[in-house]
Amino acid sequence: MTTTEERERVYAYSDLPGLMSMMTGDEKHGPAATSTLDVLWVLYDRVLRVDPVRPDDPGRDRFLLSKGHGPMAYYAVLAAKGFLPVDWLPGFGRYDSPLGHHPDRTLVPGAEIGSGSLGHGLPIAVGTALGLRAQGLAEPQVWALIGDAELDEGSNHEAIAFAGPAGLERLHTVVVDNASASHALPGGIAARFEAAGWSAVTVDGRDHEALYAAFTAPHPGRPHVVVARVEPKTA
């Protein structure tokens, strides 16, 4: 199958488990991937303004996968949307494969950052939003996907504390909450962001309509966070 044919084929959400099953390399972070599957699909299918034919378009939305350990769902969604060939998937994790256990922005089409080290994605997203503002690019939205355990990292709290008062309304964060954080209180994630001046919504992380509504909720003058709660797993 040629790249053009792959891009013309329409994949559905129901195809994602099959695409993920093609990645059989040694990977210890399976739950980290499956917990993000619904969030990733709704973003790429209905929200993000990105084009696999023009992945470097200056006007594109920026999606930063901070939760980069266990990226199988990310690769499956990128393949389904035509950013990378489906026949790359079986090579996942091999020495000669571009699809590593952490995404590499220089190897994976559509990946904005190399990620996997906890606590880096949201600060980079803040810098990205500031950079776009400085360039006068008002349309691109910036999205960062982090895990609840990443909020144990102080770098995220510095980013949260800065973004609210800075009024970075183009900045969006999705926290996939699978109860893997070491230090957490029920409802505490949204409260942390709200205390710093963010708009915050908590939803069922498997409910696609609830996710879409939360992702597209208006939040003038403020950055926005969506806490997507999924079944507790060790990740």
Predicted pLDDT at 185: 65
* pLDDT tens, residue by residue, 208-231: 999 999 999 999 999 999 999 998
pLDDT in tens, 9-33: 789 999 999 999 999 866 656 777 7
Work out the percent of the chain whose per-residue pLDDT is above 70.
Answer: 89
Mapped onto helix, strand or coil, the DSSP state of residue 70 is coil
Alpha helices in 104-223 (DSSP H): 121-134, 154-166, 188-195, 208-215
Read off the pTM: 0.91
- The per-residue pLDDT for 182 is 57
pLDDT at 100 over 50: yes
pLDDT category of residue 234 using cuts at 50, 70 and 90: very low
Report pLDDT for 118: 81
The span from the CA of 18 to the CA of 24, in Å, is 12
Q: Over the chain, what is the mean pLDDT? A: 90
% residues pLDDT > 90 (the chain): 76
Using the Cα atoms of residue 116, residue 25, residue 33 and residue 39 in order, give the sign of their dihedral: positive
pLDDT tens track for 40-84 = 999 999 999 999 999 999 999 999 999 888 799 999 999 999 999
∠ CA 202-206-209, rounded to 5° = 75
Strand partners, 171: 142
What confidence score (pLDDT) does residue 5 get? 54
Is the CB of residue 163 less than 8 Å from the CB of residue 193? no
Q: Tell whether the model's pLDDT for residue 95 goes beyond 60.
A: yes
Q: Return d(Cα 84, Cα 107) in angstroms, integer.
A: 10
**pLDDT given at position 235:** 39
- Which residue in 81, 74, 42, 50 sits closest to 216, CA to CA? 42
How many alpha carbons lie under 13 Å from residue 100 in its C-beta half-sphere?
A: 15
For 133-158, the pLDDT digits (tens) are: 999 999 999 999 999 988 888 999 99
**Whether the predicted pLDDT of 202 surpasses 60:** yes
Is 13 in contact with 81 (CB distance < 8 Å)? no
